[in-house]
Amino acid sequence: MADYREMWSELGLDLALHDKLCAALPPLFEEAFLHQKDRPSGMDYFNMVIAEVHGLRIKELVDHKRNGGFVVGSFCVYVPEEIVLALGGLMVGLCAGSQFWVPEGEKVLPRNLCPLIKAAIGAKLSKTCPYFQSVDLVVAENTCDGKKKAWEEMGRLVPTHVMDLPNRKSKEGMDLWRSQVRELIKRLEDLSGRKLTYEGLMEGIRKVEAKREALRGLYETRKADPVPISGIDSLVVSQIAFYDDPERFTSMTNQLVQECRDRVSSGFGVFPKGTKRILLTGSPIVVPNWKVHHILETSGASVVVEENCTGTRYFKGSVDTSPKDLEGLIDALADRYMNGINCACFSPNQGRLDDVVELAREYKVHGVVDVTLSFCSTYQVEEGALKRRLKEEGIPLLCLETDYAPGDEGQLRTRVEAFLESL
């Protein structure tokens, strides 16, 4: 990696602590990825992005700001990237998946809170995340209780705009959401000094839709048996979608998709034909949290699809681009988010159960693994409904709860092995 210390210092990073964080990532990546056989050569690009995670992309963000642009950080797939792009900004996902940041977060948040939230606050407090240090505005959202209260702390550390998500997907809920999308536009217009135009929004929609389409293409190839790419490789591609340059990401993912399609045509796969196929669902799995995929795929299974926000929820549904005026297009954009994403923060959330069943059939899985982060109560409560529905459908289910701390791998592996044995 090139020397980025001067840039990191200008961003206000705690360099000594940041060195420790940077030292922890390569062995983690090596252990989770580099032992795999027959990885597609298209993964070389994504390996490089991980190796350069605090370098190349950060430099691009800094250059973008120097050229008059702005950077927005987000924590949820409900925040519409299309609007940020349309107003000349860049958006990066700030969800944090490393145990490194959890103790720092626990200094201001209760310990019995999900690790994703504690790590996010810890990343900012410890001044070791160059993405956080680069953002002009955090666009947060009222989804689960932990997040909505944590934003009050976040607002003390960095300018924060909170989108109010409805609890129900009702007519009133939809009206609230559309108004919240308009409030975000206003906030970003003030930040950028630009006015949202129909053409600008169309261009933002085109870029994000191309990214989603590339990911859909990748997932489509995972329906094959043998599967052309491992679940953990596909996961890291989805994780990178949250912060890479959208157009470069789309182009590199499309190259990978072509390679995977060629593999499918010739019957070549990364696991033997007949390997147990798993659908993974639950809380989001963000960089560098590769724990459960690694355990599953080194225990003889293949993760072929993820029904979560670092999986199908990220790319499900397209924006209807038929409206001919800006207001109509904004409504269509808002509708795509409300209709396409089924988060456990909504009550009821029947759509997620239907999605899991539909995907389980489409990807011909042998079983479903529901992975919730500790203290993620929305997904944990929904486990009951998921159990009942999958029992009715005759689909085996394993429920796992974990966090970012090492130490539970042995116990998780024992449960995974017993589950695979039973399939």
Residue 331: how many CB atoms within 10 A of its CB?
17
Of 200 and 282, which has the nearer Cβ to ligand BJ8?
282
- Please state the closest distance from residue 140 (CB atom) to ligand BJ8, in A: 10
- Please state the closest distance from residue 159 (CB atom) to ligand BJ8, in A: 20
- Please state the closest distance from residue 412 (CB atom) to ligand BJ8, in A: 17
- Helices 246-266 and 198-221 pack at an angle, to 10 degrees, of 30
Of 376 and 386, which has the nearer Cβ to ligand BJ8?
376
- Please state the closest distance from residue 325 (CB atom) to ligand BJ8, in A: 29
Supply the DSSP string of 258-304, one letter for each residue: HHHHHHHHHT--SS-TTPEEEEEEES---TT--HHHHHHHTTTEEEE
Q: Are 233 and 269 spatial neighbours (Cβ–Cβ below 8 Å)?
A: no
* Strand stretches in 169-232, DSSP E: none
CA distance readout (Å), 232 to 36, 114, 293: 10, 22, 6
Tokens matching residue 184 = 């975000």
The bridge status of strand 70-74 relative to strand 367-373 is: unpaired
Q: Are 378 and 344 spatial neighbours (Cβ–Cβ below 8 Å)?
A: yes
Site residues, ligand BJ8 (CB under 6 A): 76-78, 114, 116-117, 143-144, 146-147, 283-284, 309, 341, 343, 345, 373, 376, 378-379
Query: What distance in Å separates the CA atoms of residue 337 and residue 78, rounded to the nearest whole number?
Result: 6
- Please state the closest distance from residue 17 (CB atom) to ligand BJ8, in A: 24
Of 169 and 206, which has the nearer Cβ to ligand BJ8?
169
What type of residue is 222?
A: R
Of 386 and 420, which has the nearer Cβ to ligand BJ8?
386
Of 78 and 219, which has the nearer Cβ to ligand BJ8?
78
Q: Are 233 and 309 spatial neighbours (Cβ–Cβ below 8 Å)?
A: no
Query: What distance in Å separates the CA atoms of residue 289 and residue 219, rounded to the nearest whole number?
Result: 20
- Please state the closest distance from residue 227 (CB atom) to ligand BJ8, in A: 25
Of 161 and 277, which has the nearer Cβ to ligand BJ8?
161
Of the candidates 377, 354, 352, the one whose C-alpha atom is nearest the C-alpha of residue 145 is: 377
- Please state the closest distance from residue 79 (CB atom) to ligand BJ8, in A: 8
Residue 403 CA, chain-centre distance (Å), reads: 16
Of 239 and 283, which has the nearer Cβ to ligand BJ8?
283
What type of residue is 128?
A: T
- Please state the closest distance from residue 375 (CB atom) to ligand BJ8, in A: 6
Of 166 and 300, which has the nearer Cβ to ligand BJ8?
166
Query: What distance in Å separates the CA atoms of residue 357 and residue 374, rounded to the nearest whole number?
Result: 24
